[in-house]
Each structure stands twice: as structure tokens, then as C-alpha cells.
Amino acid sequence: MARMIALVPAAGTGSRFGAPSPKQYLQLNGKPLMWHTLAALAATPGVDEVAVVISPQDEWFDDFDWDLPKLSVHRVGGSCRAESVANGLGALACEAEDWVLVHDAARCCVPVAAVERLIAALAGHEVGGLLALPVPDTVKRADADGQVAVTVPRKGLWLAQTPQMFRAGLLAKALLGMAAEDITDEASAIERLGLKPLLVEGDAQNFKVTYPRDLALARAILAAREER
Ligand code: C5P
């Protein structure tokens, strides 16, 4: 039977965040930010393994007792996200038919229910798919001077989230031989093969912690869940 493997690329330095340690290791409600991410994936029924990909030069991971079921660690991170994912796939002993759910380390508030929704929606699907949200706001494209060049009709536009779920064999093929720096998510690599990933309704709580100002919201969401 096909296994369900959550793969978390966590080899980034978080340069936009500007903290001394990568953002995935910042303290959030008493634990590293990424602990919350890994815990949500481990708590998802149906996920067999949670594989985290860190940099070979990582100095922070071993400082914490992660104490999570299903967790495996792979020190094979690459120079960009796509390379970290491809290296992770290589390090995992998975079959081509196994499902891989690639999830950003910095999406630490991902609700278990959203991951379950993705898994359920893709059962038997030919290609795979991703969590995403319809764009709620009016969208503007800027010119070089920061002025509005054009208003882009938002109908049919979605914001891609993670997990992005594909068969291991298809994903490895899609990532192979691509200009990896151009690939900011797995779905776009699959699209370049001429395939159409399924969009599955995500969750506003599943945002990516990108800037220091995002931490307050993440803290509040996680604290509210603990109080329940
Ligand atoms: O930079 P960005 O936020 O888009 O990164 C998305 C995810 O990819 C993060 O979890 C980050 O740690 C990971 N990443 C990686 N290897 C890199 C760059 C980013 O695993 N070289």
C-alpha cells in the first residue's frame, strides 16, 4: 500500500526574516517554531512519516529534544527549496507510488483538519494537488515606480499554500532537470510537465511566517488552541 510521507524542507536561512538563527528555530510558545509544524503533521491520521530536511551545516536542530512520533531527519538540504525537496526525496527510501506531502517549515499553524481535507480530496487523483485559498482582495500590478499599472481580475486566482501532495515518482521527475531557483513550489514543477494539480480549499491560519510581524498572529493562534 502507498505510504503517506510529509516532507518538510527546512534548510532555508530565512533571510527576509532577519533573525540571527533561521526562523524555523525561533521560540514560539515555548518550542521552536518548526516543532509546531512537525507536531501538526505527526498528529494527522494517515501520515505515516514526517521527514524533515535540514542543511548539512545546521547548528540548531540538535539543541532541542523534538520528542515527536513519526519523525525522521535528513541533513541533505540544498541551495534552494526545490533542491532541498529533491535531495530529501533521494534520501527517503520511498516507492514511486508513495504520496509525498511537501510542507513549509514556517507554516506552523497548519490545522490538522486542512491536511486531512487535502488527503481526502486527492484519494485516487491522477496528478495530486495543493491547499490554496481564493484571492479575497482586489489585485494590482505595480509598475517600476510603485504606481498601479493595472488591476488584475481576481476571478480564478488562488494563493498557493502547502502541503502540496504528489506521488514521489512524479515529483522527483518534475524536479529533475528544472532550473530549480525558478521553482517556488512543487505544483509549478508538476505544471511544467503539462499536468494540472487540484486546488483544495486551504485555511487562513495556514499562513507562512515570513516577517517578524507575523509571529504575534502565530503565537495567538497556537495559544488559543492550547486553551481549548
Ligand atoms: O524562502 P521560503 O520561505 O519560500 O522557503 C520555503 C521553505 O523552503 C522553508 O521551509 C525553507 O526552510 C525551505 N528551504 C529549504 N532549502 C533552501 C531554501 C528554503 O529547505 N535552500
Mutate to test the pocket of ligand 1, among 17, 41, 81, 159 (most ligand atoms within 8 A of CB): 81
More confident position, 226 or 42: 42
Q: Which residue has the cell 532541542?
A: 64
- Smallest CA-to-CA distance from 171 within 146, 142, 192 is with 192
Q: Which of ligand 1's atoms lies nearest the C-alpha of 79?
A: 21
CA distances from 68 to 7, 12, 116, 162, 191 (A): 15, 22, 19, 21, 34
Cα of 149 vs centre of ligand 1, distance in Å, is 31
Are 123 and 198 within 8 A, CB to CB? no
Q: Is the CB of 202 under 6 A from ligand 1?
A: no
- Smallest CA-to-CA distance from 119 within 182, 38, 41 is with 41
The pLDDT value recorded for residue 16 is 74
Residue type, 52: V
Residues 27-38: tens digit of each pLDDT: 999 999 999 999
The pLDDT value recorded for residue 219 is 96
Q: Is the CB of 79 under 6 A from ligand 1?
A: yes
Proportion of the chain above pLDDT 90, given as a percent: 88
Domains of the chain are 4-124+163-186+204-227 (3.90.550.10)
The pLDDT value recorded for residue 13 is 79
Residues 57-67: tens digit of each pLDDT: 999 999 999 99
- Smallest CA-to-CA distance from 32 within 8, 48, 16 is with 8
Q: Which of ligand 1's atoms lies nearest the C-alpha of 8?
A: 10
Q: Is the CB of 185 under 6 A from ligand 1?
A: no
Q: Is the pLDDT of residue 1 over 80?
A: yes
Q: Is the CB of 7 under 6 A from ligand 1?
A: no
What is the mean predicted confidence (pLDDT) over 134-152? 97
Backbone angles phi, psi at 51, to 5 degrees: -105, 120
Cα of 148 vs centre of ligand 1, distance in Å, is 30
Residues 87-123: tens digit of each pLDDT: 999 999 899 999 999 999 999 999 999 999 999 999 9
Residues 190-206: tens digit of each pLDDT: 999 999 999 999 999 99
H/E element holding 216?
Answer: helix 214-227
Q: Which of ligand 1's atoms lies nearest the C-alpha of 15?
A: 1
Are 94 and 168 within 8 A, CB to CB? yes
| Whole-structure pTM value | 0.95
Confidence of residue 39 (pLDDT cuts 50, 70, 90): very high
Mean pLDDT taken over the chain: 94
